[in-house]
Amino acid sequence: MDERFHHEYIDQTTLHPIGLAAILLLGCASLALPRRFAVIPIILSACFIAPAQRVVVLTLDFNMLRIMVVFGWIRLLLRGETSGFIWKRLDTVIILWMISGAAAFILLRGTTAAVIFKLGSAVDAVGMYFFFRCLITSWKDVDTIVQCFIVVSVPVAIAFLIESATGRNAFAVLGGVSAITPIRQGRLRCQGAFAHPIMAGCFWAVLLPLIAARWWGGGADRLWAVLGVAASMVIIAACASSTPAMGVLAGVVAAGLFPLRRNMRMFRWGVFAALVVLHFYMNAPVWHLISRVDVVGGSTGWHRYFLIDQAIHRVREWWLLGTLSTAHWGWGLFDVTNQYVLEAVRGGLLTLVLFVVIIGLAFHGVGRLTALSEGNKRIRALSWALGAAMFVHCVNFIGVSYFGQIIVIWFLLLAMIGSLTPLPAPRAVQHAPTARRKKRRALQRTPAHSHLEPV
């Protein structure tokens, strides 16, 4: 198996009695709670149970998130909550992306271990995404999920403050994380129950725009927004990593672009043109700018630049099915700390293209949601926040490749956008519809109670 996926806890059962009791309780809650709250148990599992907590059965690893996905699908099938599902383009591309990545990975390696690994990844990705897609049907569901993250952020922030003050990770009692907090450049890098300090910071950096959007609800929502943003910033600061800090900056930039929402196409082309000019003006390629990023000290920006540079220069090596290893690309490049490069080296060019198409469809959906919510300030803010969170993911992908609990946020965000984005309006055959009729048709094809609805 690739060096990137060889962790010491793979193929080893690590399960504390408290962790077992917690996952059974959360699993039962997932089965019993009303649909609107059924996502909450998997959120709690992601925030408080380390990914190394797992049960191994016949060489098959079942970490706690995977077990929660199984519980979730039992719920969907028992309650018939898949009946109202409407298939959309984003769903198709996600399935194709998974098939492409799995086929390339297995064909290149040709081992049983590769088959098992990709089947597990498919359960995590497809199972989690479609579980969320079936449960999220309205803006009220999104609001409930965001509120849950705000409430959860407080105890998580307290745990990170304690870890920062003591240098000891309390979650180590349950196993799956180191008891001693790692130090870099004299700064403690707290991680709590998360797979890595960077993953913990990126997790909450993505959530910041959604939490901050509660401010536009007015009243008590503003207090919740302030509380959630403060707690999230404490967690991100305690991680002491540049990538989450850049994610926060990306979220702020995305939020600042809100006044340009009707001219985003022109803005995107302008940014692209500026990058092209910089590329030819600079002595180094434009992606060399990444090497200069060092927000908190001790950052490996040059490593990330060199990884991208090598991937571009070695397209012939990976374009068809990926490559078995990147260790020979340069010192330390066995560690693929870039999600875009990881998609390429594990699945080839087709898998990378499909991954980018998923991102493009998500942004397109956010644009439609924002346009349809112009009459409701709160929904409009939340719509734009979905796009800002997606942009944070895109920036994160430059500095890390996702593993552990953060995949919950990735597939949850895609599911929110996929569920709320209306189907394309049918093309007129004889008479061009008026603007009012176009808007009425779009609203009629939107999931029930999802637009312009108080939450």
Residue 7: pLDDT band with limits 50, 70, 90: low
Q: Is position 451 within any domain?
A: no
Residue 426 confidence (pLDDT) above 80: no
Residue 427 confidence (pLDDT) above 60: yes
Mean residue pLDDT across the chain:
88
Most confident among 81-85, 146-150, 403-407 (mean pLDDT): 146-150
- The pLDDT value recorded for residue 209 is 97
Residue 217 confidence (pLDDT) above 80: yes
Q: Tell me the backbone φ, ψ of residue 183, rounded to 5 degrees.
A: -125, 135
- From residue 264, give the alpha-carbon distance in Å to each of 51, 144, 254, 269, 387: 38, 29, 11, 9, 12
Residue 454 confidence (pLDDT) above 50: no
Q: Is position 98 within any domain?
A: yes
Per-residue exposure over 76-108, b if at least 16 CB sit within 10 Å of its own CB, e if not: beeeebeeeeeebebbebbbebbbbbbbbbbeb
pLDDT digits (tens, 9 = 90+) for 225-268: 999 999 999 999 999 998 999 999 999 999 999 999 888 889 89
- The pLDDT value recorded for residue 176 is 77
Number of domains in the chain: 1
Report the candidate in 328, 323, 316 with the shortest Cα–Cα distance to residue 343.
323
- From residue 354, give the alpha-carbon distance in Å to each of 92, 94, 171, 230, 349: 10, 8, 37, 36, 9
Rounded average pLDDT over 136-164: 96
Q: Is position 431 within any domain?
A: no
Residue range of the domain that includes 51: 3-265+336-420
- The pLDDT value recorded for residue 423 is 83
Q: Is position 162 within any domain?
A: yes
- The pLDDT value recorded for residue 3 is 41
84 three-class SS: coil
Residue 441: pLDDT band with limits 50, 70, 90: low
Q: Tell me the backbone φ, ψ of residue 138, rounded to 5 degrees.
A: -155, 170
Q: Is position 284 within any domain?
A: no
pLDDT digits (tens, 9 = 90+) for 358-410: 999 999 999 999 999 988 899 999 999 999 999 999 999 999 999 999 999 99
Residue 52: pLDDT band with limits 50, 70, 90: confident
